[in-house]
């Protein structure tokens, strides 16, 4: 404020100056040395907090890594169990398929043997009949030729 303003409003210059002084006095103001010390302490605290934070991150990283390794191990074990179960089921299915194929093969063998036996009977019967007919013809030809 200017002196003219101060005089016009009934404020003295000394009052204005007193308003700008610290409330308790000059002893309450920090010195450059104290500010420097506070800066050093603040930097030290920040470094300490940074180290603690870094250590905490490393610890959390290790815990996370262990947890992931445990879960991966559990997943591997579960997958091995599932694969073993699938392998057993596949073996069972293959065994049933082999049994079914074996049964069908046996049935086919019986059917083929029966069919071949019937064909053989027919063929032998036909050959006997032909032999009989031929014998009769030869006998007739011998009688006619005499």
Range of the domain at 91: 31-145
Report the number of distinct structural domains present in the chain.
Answer: 1
pLDDT at 2: 60
121-139 residue pLDDT tens: 999 999 999 999 999 999 9
pLDDT band at 5 (very low <50, low <70, confident <90, very high): low
Q: What is the pLDDT of residues 70-84, one digit of tens each?
A: 999 999 999 999 999
Tell me, rounded to whole angstroms, the distance of Cα 37 from its chain centroid.
56
- Establish if 17 belongs to a structural domain: no
Residues 63, 71: Cα–Cα separation, whole Å? 12
Indicate yes or no: pTM above 0.85.
no
Considering the domain boundaries, does residue 64 fall inside one? yes
Determine the Cα–Cα distance for residues 135 and 127; give it in Å rounded to an integer.
Answer: 12
Residue 21 lies in a domain: no
Residue 131, domain member (yes or no)? yes
Alpha carbons 146 and 136: distance in angstroms, whole number? 16
Distance of CA 90 to the CA centre of its chain: 22
CA dihedral 59, 62, 68, 72 (to 10 degrees): -160
């Amino acid at each position: 404020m200017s002196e003219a303003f101060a005089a016009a409003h009934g404020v003295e210059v000394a009052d204005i100056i007193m308003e700008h002084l610290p409330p308790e006095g000059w002893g309450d103001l920090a010195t450059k040395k104290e500010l420097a010390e506070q800066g050093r302490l603040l930097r030290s605290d920040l470094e300490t907090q940074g180290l603690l934070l870094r250590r905490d991150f490393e610890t959390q990283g290790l815990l996370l890594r262990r947890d992931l390794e445990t879960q991966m191990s559990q997943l591997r074990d579960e997958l091995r169990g599932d694969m073993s179960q699938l392998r057993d089921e596949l073996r069972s299915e293959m065994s049933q398929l082999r049994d079914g194929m074996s049964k069908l093969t046996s049935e086919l063998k019986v059917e083929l043997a029966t069919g071949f036996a019937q064909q053989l009977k027919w063929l032998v019967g036909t050959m006997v009949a032909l032999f009989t007919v031929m014998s009769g013809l030869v006998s007739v030809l011998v009688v006619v030729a005499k």
